[in-house]
Chain A
Amino acid sequence: MARVTTKARSLSTRADRKRVLITPEGVDLSVEIATYSQRATAFLLDLIFVTLAMVIIGIVCAFSLGITVGALGPDGGRLPGIITIIILLIGFFVLRNFYFIYFELGPRGATPGKRIAHIRVMAASGGALTAESVFARNAMRDLEVILPAVFLLVHPGGIDGLLSLLGTVWTGVFVLFPLFNRDRMRIGDLIGGTWVVVERLGGLKADLTQNADVLVDRHDLVFSAEQLAAYGVKELQLLETVLRRKNGSVMRDVAARIRNRIGWTPSALENDFEFLDAYYKALRGRLESEILFGRRQADKYDRAGVSGG
């Protein structure tokens, strides 16, 4: 039972993260706000990538400087030396400020770290992501990361120490901001008007009614109308999940419950998977054809003729 409740809770938080977007075609699309762990992963990865890039630039510059000074002597190496430092300065500057902006303005709307974490940035309004909002959302990072880090790492004594403590508390508000709003926006998202959402790249799975795993379609397992009326759409979709996951003990459990409810006596020749598969197909056939006639049975309680009973 405990497992069931935790599952229900995790499903409900997932529903909490769903946001609906109405497209100009009038169709509602749902997007899912990214989780904290996805965002933290993405940020750490990006931090590592930027640091690595800086280290590489640094090493390359140091080597080229060594070579030119070695070849031209300290005096002749002066100009190349200054050029190297300029490249270094500009390289660091560009990486620090434009790494995020460049990638978030691309067609994927995501930095390499975000891509790995399967998330992307979108305009909360649903429109195009503009350069201004991407710039604004990334300019705020100074406030959210660098400033709190400075306050945390620098500990002056005396009155300055007190000020620094207050500063830590104040900037701590900025760091923890995403924890206290429904859309998990950080301050940059607030200013940029952006959301970070889950990027869904799932492929099309085979239709279960054409399941290649079923060696023999058990046409001998025939259900009566009464037996098929026992469940609705909600149970059908749960059954679909069960059949796709194919966990032996879960299937045994579910098959036993269904058999019990519909009063089915298993023959010696049927296994649980075959039974569930046959029942799924038959149930879906009934529900889908009923939908064509304008009736959609939502779940097992929603039975025609017994409503209100």
Chain B
Amino acid sequence: MIEMILSSRKFREAREADWRRLESLLKRLEAKGPASLTDEELIAVPVLFRAAMSSLSTARETLLDQALLDYLEALCARAYFQVYGVRTSLGDQIFSFLRDTWPRSVRDLRWEICGSVFIFGLGAVIGYLLVRADPEWYFAFVPEVMAQGRDPSAAHEALKKIISHKENIDVLGLFATFLFTHNIQVSLTVFALGFALGAPTLLLTFNNGLPLGAMLEIYTRQGLGIDFVGWLFIHGTTEIFALCIASAAGFRLARALAFPGGATRLAALATAGRTTGAAMIGVLIMLVIAGLLEGIGRQVINDTGARFAIGSVFLVLWLSYFFLTPLRRLGEARGWRG
């Protein structure tokens, strides 16, 4: 029975130690990440991976041990995820997000953003005009919680008090936290609803504009219009901008779903997902900043002029960051990783 010394047995004996080594390195990579490996071990991973891949190709062609083939295939797949699926360090990722991915995604969404600003503005104008025509509309647009006693019959002093009073700093922190968690949840919903062909996104965006117009009207009626806009402007340039980006991202999803263009629907949605995902991470950041401006900045800074100044500075900063940052070419930014 000399032919019993099979080629597969020899093959396996010669290479098994390398496979085992790769397996143990993978186990550590998966559990604790690349930091847990020494430089030497890190360099060994791709080498061992390629060796295992070559074992797999040879084994598939020449060997008949099914268990061995299954093992090699599983090992190579695991190694593949670690070799090609792992990204650069967190610091690099954050840098490249801020430097490139974020402004690129917002710039990419510019037409959708114009659209959602228009819809939001339309909501505000309609809210204003309706309340002007009949103050009863106010109650339809502004929920009681949000109104805080501000309604068409409220006196000048009461209205003024809300937009100019001071709070203790501890309550402000709470207020700011509540605001940004609430706003982020709303903007995520607005975004996700884009998949429902955008109609709910459109309605929500429009609906967000209505109370703004309605409240502006009752303040204007009391001659406090400018103060009200200042009260809103300090954080609103950031917050409303962020909400408009969120709904723009929703519209992009709807567009990819309804009109995928030359690509397949699947590919169009995945591309839209990458762009809008990045834009939405940015929206999160903007809303945290807006929450702090609203919760703390607005209550501490009482002067309408100062409020306008801060709001404008933020608006200019955002716009120039998104639309004036020189972007790297796509190949440069992505490297060979994609």
Contacts and interface: CB of A to CB of B under 8 A. Distances in A.
B87 A130 contact: yes
Interface string B182-193: 001100110111
A184 B215 CA distance: 47
B71 interface: yes
B85 A123 contact: yes
B interface, by DSSP: helix, strand, loop or mixed?
helix
Contacts, number: 215
Interface in A10-52: 21, 23-25, 27, 29-31
Interface stretch (B6-14, B218-226, B312-320, B323-331): B6-14
Interface in A196-223: 199-205, 207-210, 219, 222
Given A124-B270, A143-B193, A210-B9, A93 B184 contact: yes
B188 A142 contact: yes
Task: Give the size range of B's interface with the partner.
Answer: 35 or more
Given A191-B272, A219-B1, A233-B64, A204 B86 contact: no
Interface stretch (B73-81, B122-130, B229-237, B296-304): B73-81
B46 to A, nearest CB: 10
A201 B4 contact: no
Contacts of A72: none
Interface of B: 1, 3-4, 6-9, 12, 16, 19-20, 23, 29-31, 33-34, 50, 53, 56-57, 61-68, 70-71, 73-74, 76-78, 80-82, 84-87, 93, 97, 101, 105, 170-171, 173-174, 177-178, 181, 184-185, 188-189, 191-193, 195-196, 253, 266, 269-278, 280-281, 337-338
28 contacts: A21-B80, A29-B73, A82-B170, A82-B174, A90-B181, A97-B188, A107-B86, A128-B84, A130-B87, A130-B274, A131-B97, A135-B280, A137-B273, A143-B193, A171-B196, A190-B266, A190-B269, A190-B273, A191-B270, A192-B273, A193-B269, A193-B274, A201-B74, A202-B74, A204-B19, A207-B67, A209-B65, A285-B4
Interface of A: 21, 23-25, 27, 29-31, 78-79, 82-83, 85-86, 89-90, 92-93, 97, 106-109, 120, 122-137, 139-143, 147, 170-171, 174, 187, 190-193, 199-205, 207-210, 219, 222, 233, 236-237, 240-241, 244, 281-282, 284-289, 291-292
